[in-house]
């Protein structure tokens, strides 16, 4: 699935989003999800151009993978787009083409210091954009700038969408059952004690609009 951007809604207060209700395990398309605003000076707002559906998303919707239940959540943790707004202290500029890494680092633990911050037990999977905070199944996403990476001029957001999905699948194949081509995303019910491997050969990214 892709939430494709068809209009500049920056001056509006609501946007389209596909929203997950963690209490009811339901998914709903809405037109009145609030457009995010900059919170911290180093935040940026990304206007989503391509957003993937991951095997982890399926697990979340089925209640097999932990996600925020506090309020309806715009899911989507694999997306690319254009920066439309930057905080006062951000190094990014409006108009830059970017991809978002949904995971954060605590910068202290061994996992983070060895570059494997997706395994971090305090940040990592427990703060993922699109799982614990609003993500890319929406028109706009609030992102800490540490999660944002610019794309080279010769890589489009669409190409990034395809390559990012392929990379996750390869990661899944490497860590799963490559012979069957059905590598599984490890989806623990409790992430408090267990690292999580991302990536699934079942992941799919489609363009709807
Ligand atoms: Zn994923
Ligand atoms: Zn860490």
What is the radius of gyration, based on Cα positions, of the chain? 16
74 within domain boundaries? yes
**Is pLDDT of 4 > 50?**
no
172-197, pLDDT tens digit by residue?
A: 555 443 333 333 333 333 333 333 33
**Is 50 exceeded by the pLDDT of residue 113?**
yes
**Sorting pLDDT into bands at 50, 70 and 90, what band is 81?**
very high
Alpha carbon distance 184, 52 (integer Å): 17
Residue 185 lies in a domain: no
Nearest listed ligand to the Cα of residue 111: 2
Q: What is the pLDDT of residue 40?
A: 97
Active site residue 56: yes
Tell which residue, 118, 113, 26, has the closest CA to residue 63: 26
Evaluate whether residue 186 is within a structural domain.
Answer: no
The rounded Å distance from CA 108 to ligand 2 centre is 5
Q: What are phi and psi of 73, to 5 degrees?
A: -120, 130
Q: Which of 85, 73, 198 is nearest to 138 (CA)?
A: 73
Q: 165 pLDDT band (50/70/90 cuts)?
A: low
* pLDDT reported for residue 88: 97
Tell me if 64 is assigned to some domain: yes
In a domain, 198, yes or no: no
Q: What is the pTM of this model?
A: 0.76
Residue 155 within a domain: yes
The yes-or-no answer on residue 107 being catalytic is no
How many domains does the chain contain in total?
1
Cα–Cα distance, 198 to 205 (Å, whole number): 15
CA of 54 to the centre of ligand 1 (A): 4
Active site residue: 56, 84, 185, 196, which one? 56
CATH number at residue 103: 3.90.180.10
181 found inside a domain:
no
Is residue 170 in a domain? yes
Instruction: State which residues form the domain around 164.
Output: 14-175
**Cβ atoms 34, 9 nearer than 8 A:** no
Ligand (nearest to CA of 130): 1
């Amino acid at each position: 699935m892709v939430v494709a951007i068809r209009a500049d809604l920056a001056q509006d207060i609501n946007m389209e989003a596909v929203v997950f209700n963690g209490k009811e395990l339901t998914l709903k398309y809405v037109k009145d999800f609030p457009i995010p605003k900059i919170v911290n000076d180093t935040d940026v707002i990304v206007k989503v151009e391509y957003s993937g559906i991951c095997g982890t998303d399926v697990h979340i919707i089925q209640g097999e993978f932990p996600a925020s239940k506090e309020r309806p959540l715009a899911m989507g943790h694999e997306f690319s787009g254009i920066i439309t707004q930057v905080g006062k202290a951000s190094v990014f500029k409006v108009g830059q083409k970017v991809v978002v890494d949904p995971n954060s680092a605590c910068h202290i633990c061994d996992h983070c210091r060895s570059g494997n911050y997706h395994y971090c037990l305090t940040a990592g999977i427990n703060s993922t954009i699109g799982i614990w905070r609003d993500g890319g199944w929406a028109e706009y996403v609030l992102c800490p700038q540490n999660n944002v990476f610019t794309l080279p001029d010769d890589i489009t957001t669409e190409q990034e969408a395809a390559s990012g999905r392929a990379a996750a699948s390869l990661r899944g194949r490497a860590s799963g059952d490559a012979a069957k081509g059905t590598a599984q995303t490890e989806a623990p019910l409790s992430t408090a004690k267990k690292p999580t491997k991302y990536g699934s050969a079942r992941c799919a990214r489609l363009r709807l609009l």
